């Protein structure tokens, strides 16, 4: 059903697209997906993983984030500040720290970027939904093995920051939510020097017809940022429409 919903949106040429969506309010625990195991550059959505890694390390040390760490975290998520991300990337131990956190939270195919290049972390749409589940799932969140995952305080902190994205970055999966409903997201975008084409990604939680959906949309090979944003938003709407068909038909 999801592939059929997305088919009319797929452009010709070099553009690639992958989508995964999960209904938090459904008894069905399956993740609906389209090419969800294909690998993409993260660009700035890796900042969500960096924050999760920082919080896990702080939990292990039985401490709260410092004022400096909180300042960096808020700039990194709310305004997607790259300098703040650089500082926290070093704090967590770069790719080694990110990969350890991702493994702990159940991500299977995400690998931290080389050196200082956190934006070149490789991920899949399915892994990004798994990360969102570690943040937004209700009640205790199991992890594949000890130590434990994000605690309630850490999860609430991430959710709050993702719900305070600045207005100019309110695009992507948030466009798929019901009008007036709350959303939480993190977007990523980068123009590749080698091709001039754009990576445009968006991950987050939206509410449609009273159901809370976790959505990840990854794309690459977009001819412009604008066309990529449009593709991601249309894909998010189509994905939630397909996933919510059993709840209520998506309005045309």
Tens digit of each residue's pLDDT (9 = 90 or more) over 198-216: 999 999 999 998 899 999 9
150 domain residue, yes or no: yes
Instruction: Report residue 101 as tokens.
Output: 């956190």
Pair 128, 218: CB distance under 8 Å: yes
- Band (pLDDT 50/70/90 cuts) for residue 101 is very high
Among 52, 235, 230, residue whose Cα is nearest residue 128: 52
249 domain residue, yes or no: no
161 domain residue, yes or no: yes
252 domain residue, yes or no: no
248 domain residue, yes or no: no
Distance CA(132)–CA(72), nearest Å, equals 21
Distance CA(187)–CA(167), nearest Å, equals 12
Distance CA(235)–CA(219), nearest Å, equals 10
210 domain residue, yes or no: yes
Tell me the β-bridge partners of 190. Answer: 199
3-class DSSP state for residue 20? Answer: strand
Tell me the β-bridge partners of 187. Answer: 202
- Band (pLDDT 50/70/90 cuts) for residue 141 is low
92 domain residue, yes or no: yes
Higher pLDDT pick, 86 / 26 = 86
Distance CA(23)–CA(53), nearest Å, equals 25
Among 171, 176, 164, 205, residue whose Cα is nearest residue 189: 171
136 domain residue, yes or no: yes
What CATH number does residue 71 fall under? Answer: 3.40.710.10
Q: Number of structural domains, the chain?
A: 1
- For 62, other C-beta atoms within 10 Å of its C-beta total 6
Among 28, 24, 21, 25, residue whose Cα is nearest residue 243: 21
Amino acid 3: pLDDT: 85
Residue range of the domain that includes 17: 2-243
Amino acid 143: pLDDT: 59
- Band (pLDDT 50/70/90 cuts) for residue 144 is low
Amino acid 247: pLDDT: 46
Question: Cβ-count burial of 100 within 10 angstroms (0-12 exposed, 13-18 middle, 19+ buried)?
Answer: middle
Tens digit of each residue's pLDDT (9 = 90 or more) over 27-65: 777 889 999 999 999 999 999 999 999 999 999 999 999
Distance CA(19)–CA(38), nearest Å, equals 10
């Amino acid at each position: 059903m999801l592939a059929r919903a997305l088919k009319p949106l797929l452009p010709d040429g070099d553009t690639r697209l992958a989508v995964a969506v999960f209904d938090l309010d459904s008894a069905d625990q399956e993740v609906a997906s389209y090419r969800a195991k294909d690998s993409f550059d993260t660009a700035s959505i890796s900042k969500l993983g960096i924050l999760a890694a920082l919080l896990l390390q702080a939990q292990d040390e039985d401490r709260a984030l410092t004022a400096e760490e909180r300042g960096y975290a808020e700039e990194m998520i709310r305004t997607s500040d790259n300098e703040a991300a650089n500082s926290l990337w070093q704090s967590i131990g770069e790719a080694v720290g990110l990969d350890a956190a991702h493994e702990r939270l159940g991500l299977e195919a995400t690998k931290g970027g080389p050196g200082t290049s956190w934006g070149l972390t490789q991920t899949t749409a399915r892994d990004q939904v798994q990360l969102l589940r570690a943040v937004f799932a209700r009640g205790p969140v199991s992890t594949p093995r000890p130590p434990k995952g994000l605690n309630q305080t850490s999860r609430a902190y991430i959710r709050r920051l993702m719900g305070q994205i600045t207005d100019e970055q309110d695009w992507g999966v948030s466009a798929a939510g019901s009008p007036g409903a709350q959303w939480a997201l993190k977007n990523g975008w980068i123009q590749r020097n080698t091709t001039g084409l754009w990576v445009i990604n968006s991950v987050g939680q939206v509410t449609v017809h009273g159901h809370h959906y976790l959505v990840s949309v990854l794309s690459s090979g977009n001819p412009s940022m604008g066309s990529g944003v449009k593709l991601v938003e249309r894909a998010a709407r189509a994905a939630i429409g397909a996933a919510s068909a059993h709840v209520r038909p998506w309005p045309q």
